[in-house]
A and B are shown apart, each in its own frame.
Chain A
Amino acid sequence: MSDNVIVLAGGLSHERDVSLRSGRRVAQALRDTGHTVLEADVNASLIDTIASVDDPVVFPVLHGGAGEDGALRSVFDLLGVPYVGSTGPASRIAFDKAVATPVVAVRAAGFRTPRQSSLPHDMFRELGAANLIAALGDQIGFPMMVKPARSGSALGCAKVAGASELPAAIVAAFSYGEIAIVEEFIEGVEVAVSVIDLGDGPRALPAVEIQPRSGVYDYTARYTAGETRFVTPADLPADQADRCAELALAAHGALGLRDLSRTDMIVCDGEPVFLEVNVAPGMTDTSLLPLAIEASDASFADVCSALVTVARRRATGTGTA
């Protein structure tokens, strides 16, 4: 059986830099475990590149844009190329916070999701921004979070304390995409729970508790080593830690995800509240999924390798995944 893997990183999204760093780390991990790795970017030669490799598995490590919204994964399905991670349709739902949150609210019954409203920019233009902004304040309340519906790494996100700040925050979110979401701000312990499925069913890795030095887990806090303290497993009572794991598994299942995902949540009054799920979790030196793997006394390289094996078996019909 071929050991060829194409690690796909970069792309044209705002998170290109993070993706390139994630990709290099995954590629090294796969080389360390004996795979033959080709690192590729998303460009006009990609399909030729894939065609030039004998029996490859694609490991997409693309954050944002076409890499995470399912578009490229649908192309891999079209080409019959096996790949690590969720399908195109599932990724499309999970990547869009305006869709994923309601889906989790309905399908993962028993777990809390934030009050949320999602609005495209032309809605404000056509109906008048002032009325909608007033309604958002009334329905969601302050403080609130404003985010682009389809973005990651906290880019374009802002905590809004009062009505006067809301228009500028929404405009900033629209700089990243055409739909902004406004949701209630959840105060509590910030936690990320990764789920991996190495062929024997999805299981939750220990929760990573996130304590940014600045108090805000923004882009700088995410990608500057030393700016954030990570506690793994999170310093939570056992019952709360169990609920976090259950929420991550429930979200993973509700959205029809496979292989790997990471669910971000806030533990508020002892109960986890869903924030978002990532189908292409960060794999950088400061990312949460690798931390969770290492805290499990497992090897990041072994997990990456196992994910490739799962994808290959799925394609050849020799596995259970």
Chain B
Amino acid sequence: MSSLEPSRRDTRLDPYIDQYADRTGSMTVSAVRALFAVANRPEVVSLAGGMPNIADLPLADLGASFDDLVRTHGVQAMQYGSGQGELFMREKIVEVMAEEAIAANADDVVITCGSQQALDLVTRIFIDPGDVILAEAPSYVGAMGTFNAYQAQIHHVEMDDQGLVPEALRQAIVSLRAAGRAVKFLYTIPNFNNPTGITQPLERRREVLAVCQELGLVVVEDNPYGLLTIEGEPIDAMRSMDDQVIYLGSFSKTFAPGFRVGWVLAPHAVRERLTIAQEAAVLSPPVFSQFAITNYLENFDWRGQIDSFRGMYQARRDAMLEGLAAHMPPGTTWTTPNGGFFVWVTLPEGLDSQALLPRAVNERVAYVPGTAFYADGFGSRNMRLSYCFPTAERIYEGTRRLGKAIADELEMHATFGLGPDVARHTRNIGPAPDIS
């Protein structure tokens, strides 16, 4: 070995630290994000992630069909494709959207790498740094990550138990414009909002659309969960009522996320720009995945599979709601979703879901703190619980563990006389966890 005599080194371990774009400023490691490494251990009941449960898919039959696909269409399927996406895929997507009352033309569909990339493309073509995007309070953490990457200003709009409050929306648009701000679009998840699970009823959708039409604001409707309605039929999509709505769809929850296929349905002029933006981003969305999904839609009972998913998620949702009712300390409230993946919990006054997380991990349960879903620091009393991936038994056990962690934290607050107004020390939280 060499000598251990020193020669001075002065380093920040990143020679490019002063050269990154401003928009990367928040792209740092955080303790909250690191805690999710523990959540992946089997001992921990993770109510944090938004992974769909796809174990019930007919994997053997799918495998055989993929073999056939490679034999018969392998050369095409493994080649570059159209920037807009393959026509056969877009035609199938039109059929899928009809399930939620959307009448569309395949020419107006752009295929994307999951609807996450659809968000990226829409933001890319509309947003200059400093432009305002309106979003529900709270909203999807992955969308906000994209909006932040384009240096948009996210302005949250109040929700009630029926989703966006139209009058609050109107006031936000008017006041922001009066202040000289460029308000570019409303981003909304009307079905089983991520993270709250709240759904906008039909009439509320009409009211929201009316405000946006009157004030000339683009609506971006994100609908990954609509077909996973548990009781009753899916509510008509906003896009079915207004063909100027930019609609984002996905196969990630109704089939499987690994294919990374989503789409945008947009008015003609917007679609043109999206296509060009898509070509610049990835040349063409994954062709093999489009063949595979089209094959699935043509040759498998995909509607029956969705019905099966609905039953499976219903059992898991019920386990979570029963567990919460049995184990949550007084003062805790939660939403009752009729579909999607998430329940939104509001903790007793004075508790902080980020501060609680290490205690919860000690109890072997994990969740996503509510602040992840706000751009403005709100949400500290909230947490998002997912019921999509663990089994019903594990979910119930997870709520028991969570109830204990909350009760212990409440006892600690009582011991120390901490109330809602007591000063809290500043914690370096970092960016929101990148959990869908």
Chain A residues packing against B (C-beta within 8 Å): 12-18, 20, 121, 124-125, 129-130, 133, 153, 155-156, 158-160, 164-165, 167-172, 174-177, 198, 203, 205-206, 213-214, 216, 218-220, 222-233, 285-286, 291, 294-299, 302-303, 306
Contact A296 B12, CB 8 Å, known A121-B415, A167-B416, A168-B425: no
B390 within 8 A of A: no
Contact A220 B416, CB 8 Å, known A13-B38, A168-B424: no
CA–CA, A172 and B423, complex, Å: 12
Are A124 and B6 interface neighbours, CB within 8 A?
A: no
Are B1 and A229 interface neighbours, CB within 8 A?
A: no
B430 within 8 A of A: yes
Contact A233 B6, CB 8 Å, known A14-B358, A16-B38: yes
Are A14 and B4 interface neighbours, CB within 8 A?
A: no
CA–CA, A214 and B26, complex, Å: 13
Are A299 and B13 interface neighbours, CB within 8 A?
A: no
Contact A223 B418, CB 8 Å, known A14-B361, A17-B34, A20-B37: no
18 sample A-B contacts, Cβ–Cβ < 8 Å, listed by A number: A12-B44, A14-B358, A15-B34, A17-B36, A156-B358, A158-B427, A159-B425, A172-B427, A176-B359, A219-B31, A219-B430, A226-B13, A285-B13, A295-B6, A295-B7, A296-B6, A297-B4, A298-B3
* Other A-B pairs, 16, CB within 8 Å; known A16-B37, A233-B8: A12-B38, A129-B415, A133-B416, A169-B425, A171-B413, A175-B356, A175-B362, A176-B358, A218-B31, A220-B428, A230-B13, A232-B6, A232-B9, A298-B1, A299-B1, A302-B1
CA–CA, A294 and B3, complex, Å: 11
Contact A296 B4, CB 8 Å, known A168-B423, A172-B425: yes
Are A198 and B1 interface neighbours, CB within 8 A?
A: yes
CB neighbours (8 Å) of B358 from chain A are: 14, 155-156, 175-176
B43 within 8 A of A: yes
CB neighbours (8 Å) of B409 from chain A are: 171, 175
CB neighbours (8 Å) of A286 from chain B are: 13
CA–CA, A307 and B257, complex, Å: 45
Are B35 and A219 interface neighbours, CB within 8 A?
A: no
Chain B residues packing against A (C-beta within 8 Å): 1-14, 16-17, 28-31, 33-38, 41, 43-44, 355-359, 361-362, 409, 411-413, 415-418, 422-428, 430
CB neighbours (8 Å) of B44 from chain A are: 12
Contact A226 B17, CB 8 Å, known A168-B418, A296-B4: yes
CA–CA, A303 and B3, complex, Å: 12
CB neighbours (8 Å) of A297 from chain B are: 2-7
B352 CB to closest chain A CB (Å) equals: 9
Q: Which of B4, B16, B417 lies at the interface centre, i.e. has the most chain A CB atoms within 10 A of its CB?
A: B4
CB neighbours (8 Å) of A159 from chain B are: 425
The B interface, classified by DSSP as helix, strand, loop or mixed, is loop
Are A165 and B423 interface neighbours, CB within 8 A?
A: yes
CB neighbours (8 Å) of A18 from chain B are: 34
B432 CB to closest chain A CB (Å) equals: 14
Partner of B28, one of A121, A227, A294: A227
A236 CB to closest chain B CB (Å) equals: 11
Query: What's the A-B contact tally at a CB cutoff of 8 Å?
Result: 169
Are A121 and B412 interface neighbours, CB within 8 A?
A: yes
- Specify the chain B residue showing the minimal Cβ separation from A148: B358
Partner of A220, one of B11, B357, B413, B430: B430
A298 CB to closest chain B CB (Å) equals: 5
Q: Which of A133, A165, A171, A296 lies at the interface centre, i.e. has the most chain B CB atoms within 10 A of its CB?
A: A171
Contact A229 B10, CB 8 Å, known A121-B415, A298-B4: yes
Are B3 and A130 interface neighbours, CB within 8 A?
A: no
CA–CA, A115 and B6, complex, Å: 33
CA–CA, A189 and B177, complex, Å: 49
Q: Which of A17, A20, A175 lies at the interface centre, i.e. has the most chain B CB atoms within 10 A of its CB?
A: A175
10 pairs of A and B residues whose beta carbons are closest in the complex: A226-B14, A226-B17, A17-B37, A167-B416, A225-B14, A206-B6, A17-B34, A219-B31, A296-B4, A224-B28
Contact A296 B416, CB 8 Å, known A14-B361, A168-B425, A286-B13: no
Are A125 and B2 interface neighbours, CB within 8 A?
A: no
Contact A129 B7, CB 8 Å, known A16-B37, A175-B355: no
CB neighbours (8 Å) of B7 from chain A are: 295, 297
Are A230 and B12 interface neighbours, CB within 8 A?
A: yes
Are B418 and A296 interface neighbours, CB within 8 A?
A: no
Contact A165 B425, CB 8 Å, known A12-B41, A302-B1: yes
Q: Which of B12, B35, B43 lies at the interface centre, i.e. has the most chain A CB atoms within 10 A of its CB?
A: B12
Contact A225 B418, CB 8 Å, known A175-B355, A296-B4, A297-B7: no
A12 CB to closest chain B CB (Å) equals: 6
Q: Which of A15, A129, A219, A227 lies at the interface centre, i.e. has the most chain B CB atoms within 10 A of its CB?
A: A219
CA–CA, A155 and B8, complex, Å: 30
CB neighbours (8 Å) of B3 from chain A are: 296-298
Are A168 and B422 interface neighbours, CB within 8 A?
A: yes
CA–CA, A286 and B29, complex, Å: 12
Are B8 and A220 interface neighbours, CB within 8 A?
A: no
Are B9 and A16 interface neighbours, CB within 8 A?
A: no
Are B29 and A299 interface neighbours, CB within 8 A?
A: no
A16 CB to closest chain B CB (Å) equals: 4
- Specify the chain A residue showing the minimal Cβ separation from B18: A226
Are A220 and B29 interface neighbours, CB within 8 A?
A: yes
Q: Which of B10, B35, B38, B415 lies at the interface centre, i.e. has the most chain A CB atoms within 10 A of its CB?
A: B415
CB neighbours (8 Å) of B8 from chain A are: 231-233, 295
B4 CB to closest chain A CB (Å) equals: 4
- Specify the chain A residue showing the minimal Cβ separation from B355: A172
B41 CB to closest chain A CB (Å) equals: 6
Are B12 and A228 interface neighbours, CB within 8 A?
A: yes
Are A229 and B11 interface neighbours, CB within 8 A?
A: yes
CB neighbours (8 Å) of B43 from chain A are: 12
CA–CA, A203 and B6, complex, Å: 13
